């Protein structure tokens, strides 16, 4: 009889039914009679696989991420992550984020804002501080941002370096104050928006409200805004400054102070004018780079033009050669020639290029010398416009020229009214121009 050995149970069945292999080890023969078991051996049980380790969700990566998100939000900060990794407590992590993390970040934003503002203000102050720049570079030179290309002409115009220095100092101080204000507003504005973001406040409604408020303020204070903008561009472009003589249209005079909103100037009579910068539509600056003395000399037709031009040229050149006046005159004087012609005479024009604001002094001296030179040459000054006013009585008028106007009805009526009123007051009469050649021929 052939013994049949049943195959060993499967690997998964062995740990579940350990005795199944022994029960089935002796199976009946194909004939149905049980045969003797020969060589039965107990199969060696295979080691059962170790069960899989099921970790805690808080320990797994996904669990840690979920717990960290629950404690610190979708964007956890460094402090919250550190506290959570140390304590594994949602309450401590969220509390540290609220009571420590946010205040620390806000304080850090403020510290950075103040440091950046201080550095920028120091740079602006060092750049625009004319006084300190003068101490560093010496009394004879002016350092800093506002070194004017026309400093030489301005120094000749003002005569005193202190006046020019005051002009530059005031302009630099005004521009420096403007730059410091702009930087402070910009830096603290960014810091304020960053703090609102740290507090979790939505910035969209605030920005929209600020836009509406800005439009309202712009409409309500548009004149003030226009004054400040005009003053800012006026200072940056250096249109005028302290010591300049300017013409603003309605008023003119010497500038005494300049600010972002107003300009203060004093006219020749001593009146102080305060002009808003937004109302200035045009500026005539008489102090920039150079000026010109223009003198018109009236002469009669009896005077030869060539002779008069030689006398005027010699007088102007003598003024230029004078050591007292040569520093104020920048170029050789010019006699431009005949400027106007009338029935009474003509005018010759003399022009001299001078230092700014010195044209009036040169003009006064030139007038005195021209009068003396013309008198020495036997040339009399003429008049380009002459009219005579004669006072006549009514009796003289009726006895003389009115006899020729008896045909005029208005003359009779006028005379009758005067007699009826019994007045003998003289009336003013302007003589007509001298008769022309046609009247002489008649």
In a domain, 130, yes or no: yes
Q: List phi, psi (to 5°) of 160.
A: -115, 120
What is the number of domains present in the chain? 3
Asked if 2 and 16 sit in the same domain, the reply is: yes
Final residue before a domain boundary, out of 232, 252, 285: 285
In a domain, 149, yes or no: yes
Q: Report the pLDDT averaged over residues 224-243.
A: 85
In a domain, 52, yes or no: no
Asked if 127 and 273 sit in the same domain, the reply is: yes
Residue 315 and residue 333: Cα distance in Å, rounded?
10
Asked if 243 and 348 sit in the same domain, the reply is: no
In the block, tokens 């712009």 appear at 218
Determine which helix (DSSP H) or strand (DSSP E) holds 208, and give its type and residue range.
helix 203-220
Final residue before a domain boundary, out of 285, 317, 347: 285
Strands in 291-299's sheet, in edge-to-edge order, are 291-299, 346-354, 334-341
Q: Nearest CA to 296 among 387, 385, 388?
A: 385
In the block, tokens 């003024």 appear at 319
Asked if 234 and 368 sit in the same domain, the reply is: no
Torsion-angle region of residue 429: left (phi > 0), alpha (psi -120 to 50) or beta? beta
Q: Sorting pLDDT into bands at 50, 70 and 90, what band is 142?
A: very low
In a domain, 107, yes or no: no
Distance of CA 422 to the CA centre of its chain: 74
* In the predicted structure, residue 140 carries a pLDDT above the cut 50: no
In a domain, 100, yes or no: no
Residue 93 and residue 250: Cα distance in Å, rounded?
72
Asked if 271 and 349 sit in the same domain, the reply is: no
Asked if 169 and 245 sit in the same domain, the reply is: yes
Residue 404 vs residues 144, 156, 401, 428: alpha-carbon distances, Å: 84, 68, 6, 20
Torsion-angle region of residue 73: left (phi > 0), alpha (psi -120 to 50) or beta? left
Asked if 177 and 273 sit in the same domain, the reply is: yes
* In the predicted structure, residue 356 carries a pLDDT above the cut 50: yes
Q: Report the pLDDT averaged over residues 203-231.
A: 82
Q: Residue 295 belongs to a domain with what CATH number?
A: 3.30.70.100
List the beta bridge partners of residue 346. Answer: 299, 341
In a domain, 439, yes or no: no
In this prediction, what percent of the chain has a pLDDT beyond 70? 56
Asked if 129 and 7 sit in the same domain, the reply is: no
Q: Which pLDDT does position 376 carry in this prediction? A: 92
Asked if 241 and 121 sit in the same domain, the reply is: yes
Q: Where are the beta strands (DSSP E) in 181-331?
A: 245-247, 252-258, 262-266, 272-276, 284-285, 291-299
Domain hosting residue 240, numbered range: 114-285
In a domain, 13, yes or no: yes
Region of poorest pLDDT, from 240-244, 258-262, 361-365, 386-390: 386-390
Average pLDDT, the chain: 71
Q: Which pLDDT does position 84 carry in this prediction? A: 64
Asked if 297 and 275 sit in the same domain, the reply is: no
Q: Report the pLDDT averaged over residues 329-341.
A: 92
Note whether 295 and 356 are within 8 A (CB).
Answer: no
Cβ-count burial 213-228 (b if 16+ within 10 Å, e if not): eeeeeeeeeeeeeebb
* In the predicted structure, residue 88 carries a pLDDT above the cut 80: no
Asked if 335 and 232 sit in the same domain, the reply is: no
Asked if 310 and 271 sit in the same domain, the reply is: no
In a domain, 58, yes or no: no
Note whether 252 and 267 are within 8 A (CB).
Answer: yes
Q: Report the pLDDT averaged over residues 422-433.
A: 45
């Amino acid at each position: 009889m052939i013994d049949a050995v049943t195959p060993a149970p499967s690997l998964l069945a062995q740990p579940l039914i350990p005795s199944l292999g022994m029960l089935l080890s002796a199976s009946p023969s194909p004939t149905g009679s049980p045969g003797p078991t020969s060589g039965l051996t107990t199969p060696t049980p295979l080691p059962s696989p170790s069960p899989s380790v099921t970790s805690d969700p808080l320990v797994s990566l996904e669990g840690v991420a979920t717990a960290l998100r629950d404690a610190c939000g979708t964007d956890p900060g460094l402090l919250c992550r550190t506290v959570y990794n140390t304590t594994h407590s949602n309450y401590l992590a969220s509390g540290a984020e609220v009571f420590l993390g946010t205040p620390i970040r806000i304080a850090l934003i403020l510290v950075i804002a103040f440091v950046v503002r201080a550095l920028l203000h120091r740079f602006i102050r060092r750049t625009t501080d004319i006084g300190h720049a003068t101490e560093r570079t010496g009394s004879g030179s002016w350092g800093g941002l506002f070194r004017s290309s026309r400093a030489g002409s301005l120094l000749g115009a003002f005569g005193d370096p202190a006046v020019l220095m005051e002009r530059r100092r005031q302009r630099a101080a005004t521009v420096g104050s403007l730059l410091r204000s702009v930087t402070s507003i910009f830096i603290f504005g960014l810091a304020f928006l960053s703090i609102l973001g740290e507090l979790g406040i939505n910035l969209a409604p605030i920005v929209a409200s600020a836009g509406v408020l800005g439009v309202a303020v712009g409409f309500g204070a548009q004149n003030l805004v226009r004054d400040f903008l005009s003053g800012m561009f006026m200072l940056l472009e250096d249109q005028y400054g302290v010591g300049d003589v300017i013409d603003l249209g309605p008023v003119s005079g010497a500038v005494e102070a300049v600010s972002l909103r107003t300009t203060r100037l004093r006219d020749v009579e001593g009146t102080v004018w305060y002009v808003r910068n937004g109302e200035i539509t045009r500026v005539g600056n008489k102090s920039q780079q150079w000026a010109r003395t223009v003198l018109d000399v009236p002469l009669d037709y009896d005077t030869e033009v060539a002779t008069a031009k030689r006398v005027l040229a010699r007088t102007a050149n003598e003024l230029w050669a004078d050591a007292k006046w040569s520093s104020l005159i920048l170029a050789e004087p010019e006699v431009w020639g005949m400027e106007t012609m009338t029935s009474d005479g003509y005018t010759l024009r003399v022009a001299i290029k001078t230092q700014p604001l010195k044209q009036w002094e040169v003009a006064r001296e030139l007038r005195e010398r021209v009068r003396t030179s013309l008198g020495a040459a036997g040339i009399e000054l003429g008049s380009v416009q002459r009219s005579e006013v004669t006072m006549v009585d009514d009796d003289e008028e009726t006895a003389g020229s009115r006899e020729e106007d008896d045909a005029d009805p208005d003359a009779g009526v006028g005379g009758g009214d005067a007699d009826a009123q019994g007045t003998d007051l003289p009336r003013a009469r302007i003589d007509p121009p001298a008769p022309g050649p046609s009247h002489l021929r008649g």
